[in-house]
A and B are shown apart, each in its own frame.
Chain A
Amino acid sequence: MNLFATISSILAEILDLDPADITPETYVIRTLEAESIDLLEIGVAMQHRLDIAVDDDLLFLKNVRMILNRAQHDGADALKALRSAYPHLSEDRLREILSDLPAGPVLRVGDLVAYALAANRAGS
């Protein structure tokens, strides 16, 4: 199963887009302008079409700022805190998120693919 193709198709359908315009680097909220109701629908569609368990908070990186604030408050390492919360994301991606955060919501299509991949591995 091509996870990227399936997820692109879901995004295109829900957000009324051309799948050709979607790449793994595309920002889901910042560029595609997905709203919370869209994210809910995307999560449900991924759950059903990919037959995976979906935790919306993890899938959509909803708590990144909260995790970083807590780490700062506790004097903990930011990267370590993110690694612990989002084990499905690579080290490079986590570093990217840290530097990209000031520009707005960091969620990319590739993050959804990484989540689905990890959920598939966990289920098999």
Chain B
Amino acid sequence: MKLDFRGKTALILGGSSAIGLALTTLLLEEGLHVIPTHSSAQGRDAIKQFFPNLATASPRLDLSDKTNPAGMEKILETPVDYLVDLAQADHEVLLAAAGEADMDAYFQAHITHRLMLLKAVTRSMLTRRFGRLLHVSSAAAALPAPGQGLYGAAKRAAEGLYQSLGLELGARGITSLSLRLGLVDAGRGARFLDRDDKRQTLADKIVTVDQAAGTLLFLLCDQALALTCTTITMDAGLTAQKYA
């Protein structure tokens, strides 16, 4: 099947992650203009290594940066048709042990600052009456492990923001979707698999980076636009069973 894309430009928040890099490759192959963001020098270097031509156009975006909460000015210089949101800092702590300043900062970064960015991006999309918002959520939003309380709650909140934006702006051509990914063999997922030596026992429950990126590509295309204002799960059945 040939995928159609009515938009031209995709902004990928967290573009230096393994999924972000793989998705960038796929979008470039489809002929789209891609703007991957990074939040660290390491991320910037990864983008430079994979896509030398995109390195200078990659804006820094760190949701926790209070002085420039969404790095919006640089990001909004180019009209964006697609937004893929892979930006999320991991933060494991038992809720009853979480510091107040810590929890406040985490929620401010991942909820308030995220909404500020989404507000700016969707207002820009409104002028063209088209936009696709794709939020990469986590199975932890539904079934957090102990220690993932802040992370899971922030993901659920973000899912709510995306759902409402799609609902409120759908009549103006802006759609939204959250994709809950399960255990991905990259980033924190890979660290978990390595740390607890789970690769063998969970082998059939792992989502590969290529699978995740390919699914995101499909979810961005015109044929998938009716998938809006909702959340879908892609976790190889990880959360479908009663007992692990």
Contacts and interface: CB of A to CB of B under 8 A. Distances in A.
A44 B169 contact: no
B56 to A, nearest CB: 26
B127 A48 contact: yes
B126 interface: yes
B123 interface: yes
B171 interface: yes
Contacts of A20: none
A41 B174 CA distance: 13
Interface string B143-170: 0000000000000000000000000110
Contact of B172 (A37, A47, A48): A37
Contacts of A48: 127
Contacts of B127: 44-45, 48
B contact face: mostly helix, strand, loop, or mixed: helix
Contacts of A40: 123, 126
A37 B123 contact: no
Interface in B161-187: 168-169, 171-172
A48 B169 CA distance: 18
Interface string A11-31: 000000000000000000000
Contacts of A41: 126, 172
B43 to A, nearest CB: 31
A40 B172 CA distance: 11
Interface in A40-73: 40-41, 44-45, 47-48
Contacts of B172: 37, 41
Contacts of B169: 37
A48 B125 CA distance: 12
Interface of B: 123, 126-127, 168-169, 171-172
Interface of A: 37, 40-41, 44-45, 47-48
14 contacts: A37-B168, A37-B169, A37-B171, A37-B172, A40-B123, A40-B126, A41-B126, A41-B172, A44-B123, A44-B126, A44-B127, A45-B127, A47-B123, A48-B127
Given A40-B126, A44-B127, A45-B127, 7 more contacts: A37-B169, A37-B172, A41-B126, A44-B123, A44-B126, A47-B123, A48-B127
Which 5 pairs from chain A and chain B are nearest by CB? Answer: A44-B126, A44-B123, A48-B127, A41-B126, A44-B127
